[in-house]
Structure 1
Amino acid sequence: MSKLAPHAIGVEELATREALRHLATAYGHAIDRRDWALLRTLYHDDGVDDHTPYYCGPVDGYIAWLPTMMANWRATMHTALSCLFAIDGDQAQGEITARAWHMTLDGTRQFVAWGRYADHYARRDGVWRFARRSFILDFAEDLPVASGDDFGSEGVGTGRAGADDPVYARLSMFGR
């Protein structure tokens, strides 16, 4: 039977699925807030990231490459939309459908990548982390921005790429 077929799910499998969803969600937060230290904790030491053709290799090289690449964007939002997992003991694989929104530095254009992450996970010492993460692009949009910095919502906290994002002032437990 396929590991994707419906089956009775016990408490341990529920905990595993939640741990894997947490990885996918924390990845987006770390990228968008430029929290490279958090991002590094999501991968095993021998982890690999595949964002071919831009980068494919060890996680430490990926994290070293990211600041230069992300400097091209004023703001980003990486969102995990659905998560499908196949679990086998201390190994798992997942297909995470995703939307990665990027705003240009000058605030005039937005680039939206729609795709999927094909993830390999490993549980070591009781903790799930990425063993390999690769991105599959399904569709991309390059669109003009319709309004100014406040997006038509004057006074609303506006997201920022780094540590001065409003989330850190509003959620004390999210502090670095």
Structure 2
Amino acid sequence: MTLETLLAKEAIRDLVLRYCRAIDRRDYAALAALYHDDATDDHSPMYCGSAAGYLEWLPSMLETMTVTSHMVQNHLIAVEGDRAEGEVTMVSYHLTKDEQGNDVEIIIGGRYLDKYEQRAGQWRFSHRKIVMDWNQIQPSTCQWDSPLVAGTPVGARCDSDPAKAFFNLLTFAS
């Protein structure tokens, strides 16, 4: 494996990690910077089309979620010049409300099927497709007032997140 291939793979892994952080912190400017202008995103059946359209649609869907946490695991990447493909195993957690206003957890295990391109020295998504392998939908087991977690900082969106005041190098785009 060449040094160029190793550097490409590391840049692509970083791209995928930045996606997870940006979506969970609702950093839409950072998300937009991860896709090429002509990229597509397939989160069927909820959304399938241009990445620009996905980024327009996404805030309305995420507003229904109290918490999201996207975690990636195995990441296979094949690189050929300025093109690459990746299969990323992931688990995503969503805390939302049901029709009666009760907290519900939606946990999805699946994969991102990605196509990446390097343009002007930048690796970005050219196409992203989600595949669900399993899920759990259940009443929430979160205990925000438990003595075991009392006083622990809670994640939030961009400027309200504890990371904003903690980091100097890892900043938010919006």
In the alignment, is residue 62 of structure 1 matched against residue 54 of structure 2? yes
Q: Name structure 2 gaps, 5 residues minimum.
A: none
Matches within 5 A, 1:133-172: 133-150=128-145, 152-172=148-168
Unaligned runs of 5+ in 1: 1-8
Report which stretch shifted further, 126-135 or 164-173: 164-173
Note the C-alpha offset of 1:145.
2.5
2:71 pairs with 1:79 = yes
Aligned to 2:6: 14
Letter in 1 for 2:111: R
Instruction: Provide runs of 4+ in structure 1 moved above 3 Å.
Output: none
Report the count of equivalent residues. 168
Alignment of 1:89-104 (within 5 A): 89-104=81-96
Give the match for residue 48 of structure 1. 40
User: What is the TM-score of this pair, normalised by structure 1?
Assistant: 0.89
- SS, match of residue 65 in structure 1: helix
Q: Deviations over 1:3-39 (max 9, x none)?
A: xxxxxx2221111111110111000111001111000
Query: CA–CA distance in 2 between the matches of 1:109 and 1:74?
Result: 10
- Tell whether the 8 Å contact from 1:43 to 1:129 is kept in structure 2 after alignment: yes
Q: Relative to structure 1, is the Cα distance of residues 150 and 46 closer, same or farther in structure 2, using a 3 angstrom cutoff?
A: farther
The whole-number CA distance in structure 2 between the counterparts of 1:72 and 1:147 is 17
Does the C-alpha gap of structure 1 residues 147 and 137 become closer, same or farther in structure 2, counting only changes over 3 Å? closer
Structure 1 CA distance for aligned equivalents of residues 36 and 166 of structure 2: 30
RMSD over aligned CA atoms reads 1.6
With over 3 angstroms needed to count, the CA separation of the structure-2 counterparts of 1:102 and 1:10, relative to structure 1, is same
Whole-Å separation in 1 of the counterparts to 2:85 and 2:145: 40
Deviating more after overlay: 52-61 vs 164-173: 164-173
| Counterpart residue type for residue 80 of structure 2 | D
- Paired with 1:125 and 1:144, the residues of 2 have a C-alpha distance of 47
